[in-house]
Amino acid sequence: MYWWPLIFEAMHKSLLRFPVPQRNDHKGVYFSTTEGDDIYCSFRDLWSTIYDDHDDVLVSFWLPNSAFYVQVSLAQNNDFWQLDITLDEGMFNADSIDDTKLLLNTFINCSINLYAICNPIQVRLYWDEDISTFPKQLNLLQMTNSLEEAQSQILSFRDQQLHWREVALIYNTKLSVLDPFPLWEGNSWGFISLP
């Protein structure tokens, strides 16, 4: 399985790392579907889990010197591979709008790099499923071949009009994200215009 080296390369290009910044032992964390829990381990132990044990994992990648992280999982869906990128609650709690926009830009670049390097059939961006007020069927990233298709789909969420904004063109596929971007702020939804 060659996917995980590509995923790590995309995360590295996005300046996101496996080790948790707040730990001195350089261990990272992943969620194990087999164990049903978070596992703190070395990179080598994670690699063994993925390749020897064939465990389905949700791996956290961290922005150095920050509490910001994204979680990436890989799943085979019929005949194609799908990458899911998940955000946990509070990931955009920053001191200023500018800092929040920098984190959002990191998140968007992470998605673009994953698609460009891994070239899966589908990349999906989601808020964590525990945030029950956000429609689970709504992917925060859209992939289309025509700009008209992306622009024609305007959504309404919490009395806010959302539209799709193109952020990249890769392999003749337009990647678009919701703008303004919906942010879960711990107890309510906020919206921020893309940088």
The count of structural domains within the chain is: 1
- pLDDT of 14 strictly over 80: yes
Averaged pLDDT, 116-123? 76
- pLDDT of 93 strictly over 80: no
Owning domain of residue 103: 3-16+63-192
pLDDT tens readout for residues 32-87: 888 889 999 999 999 998 888 666 899 999 999 899 999 999 887 777 777 888 88
Highest mean pLDDT among 74-78, 120-124, 185-189: 74-78
Residues in the chain, how many?
195
Tell me whether residue 139 is in a domain: yes
Tell me whether residue 162 is in a domain: yes
Tell me whether residue 109 is in a domain: yes
pLDDT tens readout for residues 130-183: 545 555 555 777 777 655 554 556 666 777 788 888 888 887 788 888 888 888
C-alpha closest to that of 195 among 104, 96, 68, 95: 104
Tell me whether residue 56 is in a domain: no
Tell me whether residue 168 is in a domain: yes
The pLDDT, as a whole number, for residue 126 is 65
- Name which residue leads in pLDDT, 54 or 8: 8
The pLDDT, as a whole number, for residue 92 is 77
Whether omega for the bond prior to residue 180 falls within 30 degrees of 0, making it cis, is yes
- pLDDT of 184 strictly over 90: no
Tell me whether residue 114 is in a domain: yes
The pLDDT, as a whole number, for residue 8 is 95
Tell me whether residue 186 is in a domain: yes
Tell me whether residue 102 is in a domain: yes
